[in-house]
Amino acid sequence: MNPIILLIEDDPQIRRFLRASLVTQGYELIEAGTGREGLALAAAQVPEVVLLDLGLPDMEGLEVIKQLRSWSSVPIIILSARGQERDKVANLDAGADDYLTKPFGVGELLARMRVALRKVAPAEEGKQEVLYSLGNIKVDFERRLVFRGQEEIHLTPIEYKLLSVLIKHRGKVVTHRQLLKEVWGPSHIDQNPYLRIFILNLRRKLEDDPTRPQYLVTEPGVGYRLRDD
Amino acid sequence: MPDPGPGVVPQETEPSRSGPENLLVCLSPSPFSIPLIRATKRIADAQQARWYALYVETPSHDRLSPENQEKVAQALYLAAKLGAQAVKVSGFRIGDEILAFARENQVSKIFVGKPYARRWRRFLGLSLVDHLIWNCGPIDVFVISGEGEEAPPAPAPGPKPRRLLREYLLAAGGVGLCTGLGFILFPYLALTNLAMIFLLTVVIISSFLARGPAIFSSFFSVAAFAFFFVPEYYSFAVANTEYAITLMVMLLVSLLVSGLTTRVRHQARVSRQQERQTAALYEMSQNLGAINSLEELLEVAAEQITRIFDCRVSLLMPGSTDKLEIRAGQPYADEYGKEGMVAKWVFRHGHLAGAGTDSLHAVKGIYLPLIASQNIIGVLRLATDQPDRILGADSLRLLEALGSQVGIAIERENLSRQAQAAQLQIEAEQMRNTLLSSVSHDLRTPLTVIAGSASSLVEGEKNLDAVTKQELAQSIYEEAKRLDRLVHNLLEMSRLQSGQAMFNKEWYVLEEVIGCALAQLDSQLHDHPVSINLPTDLPLVKIDALLLERVVINLLENSMKYTPPGTSLEISGRIEGQELLVAVADRGPGLPPAELERIFEKFYQVSPGSARGAGLGLTICRSIIEAHGGRIWAANRTDGGAVFNFTIPLAEGAITLDKNLPEMQKDSR
């Protein structure tokens, strides 16, 4: 059965373009023009991914996320304009899973959706991964070793923890706050400068060109993402 | 009496006189001045003539009672209100002063009231009207009669009797002293020289004392001289007729001298007062001229008037709700809103009112309208325990002059503010127009590509091969992205220009910011290899990362736009003093030296129309960098190409990258 995608978006042109793109990719699309309608559809049809536009006529996107999260853990991908970084962070911290900045290409959208759908399959995530590889990077979780090509790379405990959190959320954006909370603990969520320095150090150890990273990319104003394709 | 009809202009009228006629009305302290002014006003209106109201202040003005002095002031005030130019001159002979003024101002008709003159003066033809008629030359003189003969103005009670008595005693004492001195010198001096000493005494006395004591001293000294020193001694009988002549001459001379001295003193007093007024007005205009805000202007004016009149001064002007508000000076208590009502009345009617005046005097303040060239723009309030001190003719005139100066200064300030606002609006309008024309061109180019490519795809579905379709789709995608960047730049620009931009400064690593900029430009950069040269130990900088990313993107885009494909770009950074210096360099043709500064101006393009972009990119860069407290400038490289530099000041306590950071303690959960 095709995965059901709920699109909550008030602009008919964007809906038309997404409908054309997603249906040809084998998704079943249900559409809502307002937040209320979207919430009703989410309850009635139980979609596997929700695409949520942040400029709805009837309610704030944040409100939709909060109401949805009160009873559902369905992945939510936000569609937002550039320059709304604060909103994005707030929405992500409120429970949204990922975001796309308008205008976006279909390739980007499909990649985000694949990541979101993967998360839904809980059976695969149930047991601890043993080995993870990304390009020429390999991580052996059992022995806590990291390789770049054949070479073993020494990571400090924090760097290793940071990398493993990013691998856990691979393909998905992780906000600064989330990373600080998961790596260092809730009392360090304001230590952005430290996070930046550790990310930089991690890049210098893992990336071929740390200034133009291939794996560990920055999401400006929001957080970091470990590329997964 | 000549016919006041307009056709009867005397033959002698100067041919050069043209345009509206000038009329002159002469004022006196009599209550008849008021109907006289009104009559002249009617005639002036009928003939559409300009008119003057003149009062000649003679030494006798001082001897008028305060009520009569007030009448003069009110007459002048009324004349000014009715449109006359009210003038006060000082002199001794009223008639001569009037005629001199009339000639100076090319007056063609003089209006005087039917005069009261003492019978003997009338008999001798010495009345003012006779004087004017005999000496007026080409000017017509109109005598306007009132309700019956007017009474002579009541003389002032003069100085207080006590003071006057003291002055008479002083005068007598002075003559007594002189007589004593005469006794000592009598054996040595001729009689004529002794007379000189008495004359000197009279001069000294009259130069210090009032006119009465001065005249008294003349008579008294002649009497003393005759009694003691002219034979027959100790009697007023005169032995020789020659002595009688000496005494007569002495009396006349001393009377003349005392009269002259009094006049000189009066003249000195008048000019001192005028000097004081001129100085006050001059100082006010000096102070008001050097001011560039309305608030400051009002403060200075209030302060200045406070100093001159030694009272509590408040300046009221209509606020946003058209209600009068105290804008400068002293606040005051307003019981039952009476003060406010009077202020409102004065503001509406433009008349003086309040304590000590004729209208609405049941309040504590004196209210004077501030009149600008067109309308009343405010009210000046003065509060003092002795309003009469301010409402005296002279000080009232000074106050009015100051008030009109302030009014005009306020108006000037308002006008200059309006002009400034209009100028700003024009500039904003021009900028909008430039922006619109520039932007619409830049928007149309990608839109043309997108619309064209899309329509080819729609219509030519069957004829197009896969490669062409792919190309068309690719160009739609790229042009859409370019459009997005342009729109983003425009939004950023308007945000920065309107001052609404909220800076979200945080500690960032420069390398990361540059990396993000490169990631955004990825697809465009394949023609221009970029090399990055950054020290590994740069400190963190406190910046708005998204805005700084925009700077790097715009600089790179600008370099790509103006350099041939295949040439390399270089980004480098280093610490210079207390700043982080970042340079984006290219190997293109470089910049014309004259353009190095101008390229940061809005909409400026080195060669307009040749390349894409609204010319906003570098302007945005400058706004962002300046908002971070840095500088941005362009230069040419010595070995070819252009380089754009910008600096970011380093903050205190910045974390350096190379330091081995203590790994933060993990929370024990």
What is the model's pLDDT at position B126?
62
What is the model's pLDDT at position B121?
55
Whether residues A221 and B546 touch (CB distance < 8 A) is answered with yes
* CATH code (residue B515): 3.30.565.10
**B166 and B71, same domain (yes or no):** no
**B194 and B243, same domain (yes or no):** yes
Predicted TM-score (pTM) of the model is 0.54
B20 pLDDT more than 70: yes
Mean pLDDT along residues A41-66: 91
Q: What is the 3-state secondary structure (H, E, C) of chain A?
A: CCCEEEEECCCHHHHHHHHHHHHHCCCEEEEECCHHHHHHHHHHHCCCEEEEECCCCCCCHHHHHHHHHCCCCCCEEEEECCCCHHHHHHHHHHCCCEEEECCCCHHHHHHHHHHHHHHHCHHHHHCCCCEEEECCEEEECCCCEEEECCEEECCCHHHHHHHHHHHHCCCCEEEHHHHHHHHCCHHHCCCHHHHHHHHHHHHHHHCCCCCCCCCEEEECCCEEEECCC
* Position B11 in a domain: no
| Out of A145-149, B4-8, B129-133, B361-365, least confident range | B4-8
> Which structural domain, as residue segments, surrounds residue B229?
161-267
**Alpha-carbon distance B604 to nearest alpha carbon in chain A (angstroms):** 26
B15 pLDDT more than 50: no
pLDDT band, very low/low/confident/very high, at B36 (cuts 50, 70, 90): confident
A120 pLDDT more than 70: no
For residues B147 and A222, the model is more confident at A222
What are the chain B neighbours of A177 within 8 Å (beta carbons)? none
**Alpha-carbon distance A189 to nearest alpha carbon in chain B (angstroms):** 11
What are the chain A neighbours of B484 within 8 Å (beta carbons)? 82, 103
pLDDT band, very low/low/confident/very high, at B115 (cuts 50, 70, 90): low
**B174 and B139, same domain (yes or no):** no
| Residue that finishes a domain, picked among B419, B440, B459 | B419
What is the model's pLDDT at position B605?
60
Contact in structure between B50 and B25 (CB atoms under 8 Å): no
DSSP string, B196-239: HHHHHHHHHHHHHS-HHHHHHHHHHHHHHHHHHTSSSTTSS--S
A156 pLDDT more than 80: yes
**B110 and B171, same domain (yes or no):** no
What is the model's pLDDT at position B146?
59
DSSP state of B125: T
B17 pLDDT more than 50: no
Residue B318: which of B291, B296, B338, B346 has the closest Cα?
B346
What are the chain B neighbours of A86 within 8 Å (beta carbons)? 504
**Rounded percentage of chain A residues whose pLDDT exceeds 70:** 94
Contact in structure between B548 and B490 (CB atoms under 8 Å): no
For residues B74 and B15, the model is more confident at B74
B233 at the A interface (CB within 8 A)?
no
Question: Which of A100, A197, A207 is the best residue to mutate to test the B interface, defined by the most B CB atoms within 10 Å of its own CB?
Answer: A197
* CATH code (residue B370): 3.30.450.40
**B170 and B138, same domain (yes or no):** no
**B354 and B410, same domain (yes or no):** yes
| Mean model confidence pLDDT for chain B | 80
What is the model's pLDDT at position A39?
94
What is the model's pLDDT at position B500?
58
Q: B200's torsion region: left (phi>0), alpha (psi -120 to 50) or beta? A: alpha
**Alpha-carbon distance B534 to nearest alpha carbon in chain A (angstroms):** 9
CB atoms within 10 A of CB B67: 11
Question: Which of B664, B665, B668, B669 is the best residue to mutate to test the A interface, defined by the most A CB atoms within 10 Å of its own CB?
Answer: B664
Distance in angstroms (rounded) separating the CA atoms of residues B29 and B393 = 12
Question: From edge to edge, which strands make up the β-sheet containing B324-329?
Answer: B324-329, B312-318, B376-383, B365-371, B353-354
* Position B403 in a domain: yes
* Position B123 in a domain: yes
What are the chain B neighbours of A83 within 8 Å (beta carbons)? 488, 491, 546
What is the model's pLDDT at position B615?
66
B502 at the A interface (CB within 8 A)?
no
What is the model's pLDDT at position B435?
66
Distance in angstroms (rounded) separating the CA atoms of residues B658 and B131 = 106
A226 pLDDT more than 50: yes
* Position B152 in a domain: no
**B231 and B332, same domain (yes or no):** no
Mean pLDDT along residues A140-147: 90
* Position B273 in a domain: no
Burial of B408 (0-12, 13-18, 19+ CB in 10 A): middle
ipTM, two decimals: 0.84
Whether residues B667 and A185 touch (CB distance < 8 A) is answered with yes
**B517 and B635, same domain (yes or no):** yes
A125 pLDDT more than 70: no
**B70 and B32, same domain (yes or no):** yes
What is the model's pLDDT at position A217?
92
Query: Per the omega criterion (within 30 degrees of 0), is the bond before A103 cis?
Result: yes
What's the number of domains chain B is made of?
Answer: 4
What is the model's pLDDT at position B607?
54
What are the chain B neighbours of A103 within 8 Å (beta carbons)? 480-481, 484
| Residue that finishes a domain, picked among B114, B144, B174 | B144
Distance in angstroms (rounded) separating the CA atoms of residues B209 and B166 = 10
Whether residues A156 and B515 touch (CB distance < 8 A) is answered with no
In chain A, what are the domains? 4-124 (3.40.50.2300), 128-226 (1.10.10.10)
**B183 and B137, same domain (yes or no):** no
Question: For the segment A164-202, what is each residue's pLDDT rounded down to a tens digit?
Answer: 999 988 889 999 999 999 998 888 877 888 889 899 999
Question: Highest mean pLDDT range out of B181-185, B234-238, B460-464?
Answer: B181-185
* Position B261 in a domain: yes
β partners of residue B324: B318
Question: For the segment B283-326, what is each residue's pLDDT rounded down to a tens digit?
Answer: 888 888 777 788 888 888 888 888 888 888 998 888 877 788 88
| Residue that finishes a domain, picked among B387, B419, B451 | B419
**B526 and B643, same domain (yes or no):** yes
* CATH code (residue B132): 3.40.50.620
* Position B405 in a domain: yes
What are the chain A neighbours of B572 within 8 Å (beta carbons)? none
What is the model's pLDDT at position B92?
75
B2 pLDDT more than 60: no
What is the model's pLDDT at position B4?
44
* Position B348 in a domain: yes
- The beta-carbon neighbor of B549 closest among A103, A157, A220 is A220
Question: Which of B556, B570, B661, B665 is the best residue to mutate to test the A interface, defined by the most A CB atoms within 10 Å of its own CB?
Answer: B661
**B138 and B197, same domain (yes or no):** no
- The beta-carbon neighbor of B484 closest among A85, A103, A185 is A103
| Mean model confidence pLDDT for chain A | 88
What is the model's pLDDT at position B668?
42
Contacts of B147 (CB under 8 A, 6+ apart): B32
B188 pLDDT more than 70: yes
